[in-house]
Amino acid sequence: MKQVFKALALTAAFVSAPVFAADNAEVGKPAPAFTLKDEAGKAHSLSEYKGKVVVLEWTNPECPFVKRHYDAKTMQNTQKGFDAKKVVWLTVDSSSTHNAKSAADWKKKEGFSQPVLLDTDGAVGKSYAAKTTPHMYVIDGEGVVRYAGAIDNDPRGKEATKVNYVQTAVDALLNGKQVPTATSEPYGCSVKYKS
């Protein structure tokens, strides 16, 4: 019987072993590690949010798709539905021409509280293969990418019945379930990486 308990203890230790970050974001694999400064100069590392679900939102305030979602309160309402003790929302701007002042001005104008992480060299965006604004990623508490794609199924803003993929993914993870739609085709403006 002692052998069975030892085997179970070893199995449990193996299952809870730390997850190491990958070089590229892929659903089912560890998320690429990063540290970026926000609009106020505070550094944020993905590793500091271990144990929480992390939503990454690639953005560009000048993009008509981003403007539409912020005007419609899509991002704000999605974020409001989450328990801040369990879910962290980080907005990432990989636009090469943006800076802390433009990010702070946009944040103030839109009235949201999450940090805007500045990735002006595009290294983090490229490691995640972020193609559009918005482009969304949901990372579980162990640091594994569980969703990558669009915020919803409504690229033109005309669907009568919208499916919010990010809301669905986060809800599934918080309830210990598998994410029903792990990927979708992101839509929006191309990320304006430094050339």
CATH topology of domain 36-188: Glutaredoxin (3.40.30)
- Residue 83's Cβ-side half-sphere holds a number of Cα atoms within 13 Å equal to 8
8 pLDDT exceeds 70?
no
Around Cβ 172, how many Cβ atoms within 10 Å? 20
Beta-carbon contacts of residue 128 (< 8 Å; ≥ 6 apart): 24, 25, 31, 32, 56, 58, 135, 137
174 pLDDT exceeds 70?
yes
Question: 139 pairs with which residues across the strands?
Answer: 54, 145
Banded model confidence at residue 47, pLDDT cuts 50, 70, 90: very high
For the chain, domain boundaries: 36-188
What 3-state class would DSSP assign to 29? coil
Better-predicted residue by pLDDT, 4 or 54: 54
Rounded Cα–Cα distance for residues 5 and 157 (Å) = 55
**Would you say the C-alpha torsion 61, 69, 55, 52 has a positive or negative sign?**
positive
Banded model confidence at residue 195, pLDDT cuts 50, 70, 90: confident
Stretch 51-71: mean pLDDT: 97
Report pLDDT digits (tens) over 93-120.
Answer: 999 999 999 999 999 999 999 999 999 9
Q: Which of 49, 57, 43 is nearest to 21 (CA)?
A: 49
pLDDT at 127 (0 to 100): 96
Phi, psi of 80, deg, nearest 5: -60, -30
By CB atoms closer than 10 A (0-12, 13-18, 19+), residue 186 is buried
177 pLDDT exceeds 90?
yes
Report pLDDT digits (tens) over 80-100.
Answer: 989 999 999 999 999 999 999
7 pLDDT exceeds 90?
no
Rounded Cα–Cα distance for residues 108 and 113 (Å) = 9
What counts of helices (H) and strands (E) characterise the chain? 6, 9
- Residue 195 is classified by DSSP as -
pLDDT at 41 (0 to 100): 98
57 pLDDT exceeds 90?
yes
